[in-house]
Structure 1
């Protein structure tokens, strides 16, 4: 089963965004302190419009922690180090996708890396570029998660704590990277792990202390192999469902995992148009919407959806804090998109947020 998901995740790539104008809106009273974003590849263009709408409605103003997986981790990291929604859109809109596909002698080199390092492309260029983006806002290209936390404590209106996910193939579990778990890890490396699409980008190796191993591991050195967090936690909406993240006096009893539903978490999720009506009913999703399979693309879409959804189950109450965004039938795979297509996805993201907020009780 895992091999199927690995092959399906092969198509996911760097999150692209495009600029678009937003209608003027009156700020709302902040209700959320945590923001989580799903992985989604090229479909994540829609997040640009969603974030602009959240910013205009005053929601981003109250966010203290941001988390995400794969493409969502990239977006979360930029928010964490101080980028506004418009700045994120501008940055990624100016980033050529092909810049991420690095490595000498692509065919023969890629074949060698695939066998020896578990990925066709190196992924080094992405890590370098992510470091540059971090430095633009912090003057520290090697900023660690612990150092980011210190900045968030000193300037809470500018910086936020970052939480990303990775799939640890060695331990066979999801691993969360944050100042709480890996304070000395670089922000760029935490994101690089989360977007390490299996077989596409080279896997990231960690030692027993969760330090990134550069080069070839020493003989006998314990090694952990990390790849894209989307294999097991594509939409980690429960990242902040722990008592320590709840507001003082919040009700709730921890479940067997120690989790407590956190109503101050908001999630952005990409879905099919046919699925969204089932996601937004009062009782929450009851089933996956059927697929009309007519060709190989729709076959792969159906296979990807049923596998990923069953590996990443949600609780019924999670839909109350989830913004469902229509990805308009786009595949998650890396490809160029036109300005018109970008605008369509941006508008869809904005509409998803508007529909979600319209269903919420008015805050006094």
Structure 2
């Protein structure tokens, strides 16, 4: 009888260990909370199969796919520069004059304005001189490339993280999948075609992983857009190759900040064309789990007022109206997804934390990660997925 009881208890513990398809919501610096949530998930003996992310969620999904543990991710967050600043704070990197070629200048709105007043060919030299003024450089970057910051520092950081795990800095999505068998999908937005892109080893096998993440985290007005290189291609499951060369790519959150549909709506055309041949057996082999950053849930022992706001120029009335309109549209889409799949969603508290609060540290950082840990613990308990040892 005692032996039988032990066997039953052991079997129950084994059955409680699950494989998950994970979806990470976008949220800028607030994505740091994923570290706490992942920590308890793995402590409970669970694992992941497919990893899908937008913006900050794309960063976390990629680090998971590359083999980073939650503790290793935390070490990345706690990295410091030579002068003692959090490395994450360097992601707000100002563009320099060297970032802009003569081709960029010749095709710019500024050149067209100068042409209108007929400055007899001096335009390029005038602009080149102005680009050595920091404020003008950011304005030029904003007008011509859609963001105040270059994103160069983040791209180098992401490449360094891949290299630290032994991968080539320019490893492609296909090569990463072949080496790890981790199924990674990142969401971006094609501004020119006004459509959502799902970037993975099926759709964009030639696309470097770090550049895919850089696209997904390009918050409009903040970081420069990424121009799609023809060599990357974009192909659908039916073999169609879409010509999106030279189109502008930005944050996936513009069209899908919480892409639960990629793991939950198997019959949609988008899923069938981007996520592979999904048999019923494959779908049933893993549970769905969405990690939602909930700005309405407070973090214990932390103020509820926002921090780390957007650059001051984004407070311009026109930009605020565009931002608010986009937020309204996205909220409607997200609310539908959240309502439909709420039992499969873990809500992570983030009230009072800023999208661009990359300098987060000390108790504020610790409390945030702890909140993620506790939220995931509660979620797993509610689903009966807590393994007792």
Q: For the superposition of Structure 1 and Structure 2, which TM-score range results when normalised by the shorter chain?
A: 0.7 to 0.9
Partner of 1:85: 70
Q: How many Å apart are 1:311 and its aligned residue?
A: 3.9
Q: How many Å apart are 1:44 and its aligned residue?
A: 2.1
Alignment check: 8 A CA contact 1:263 1:321 kept: no
Aligned length: 294
> In structure 1, which of residues 24, 40, 43 is the aligned counterpart of residue 27 of structure 2?
40
Structure 1: which 5+ runs fail to align? 1-25, 154-159, 213-220, 252-261, 277-291
Alignment check: 8 A CA contact 1:166 1:175 kept: yes
CA RMSD of aligned residues (A): 3.2
Describe the superposition over 1:205-248 as per-residue Cα deviations: whole angstroms up to 9, x where unpaired: 11456459xxxxxxxx9521110001111111122233734551
Partner of 2:293: 270
Partner of 1:58: 45
Partner of 2:54: 69
| Rg comparison, structure with higher value | 2
> In structure 2, which of residues 320, 327, 346 is the aligned counterpart of residue 323 of structure 1?
346
TM-score, with structure 1 as normaliser: 0.72
Partner of 1:161: 183
**Paired residue secondary structure (2:170):** coil
TM-score, with structure 2 as normaliser: 0.68
Q: Structure 2 CA distance, aligned partners of 1:64 and 1:87?
A: 19
Partner of 1:103: 95
1:222–1:48 Cα change, 3 Å: closer
Alignment check: 8 A CA contact 2:149 2:223 kept: yes
Partner of 1:314: 337
Structure 2: which 5+ runs fail to align? 1-12, 80-85, 97-131, 235-243, 268-276, 310-319
Residue pairs, 1:281-292, within 5 angstroms? none
1:53–1:228 Cα change, 3 Å: same
Alignment check: 8 A CA contact 1:42 1:335 kept: yes
Alignment check: 8 A CA contact 1:32 1:266 kept: no
Alignment check: 8 A CA contact 1:68 1:165 kept: yes
1:357–1:305 Cα change, 3 Å: farther
Partner of 1:342: 365
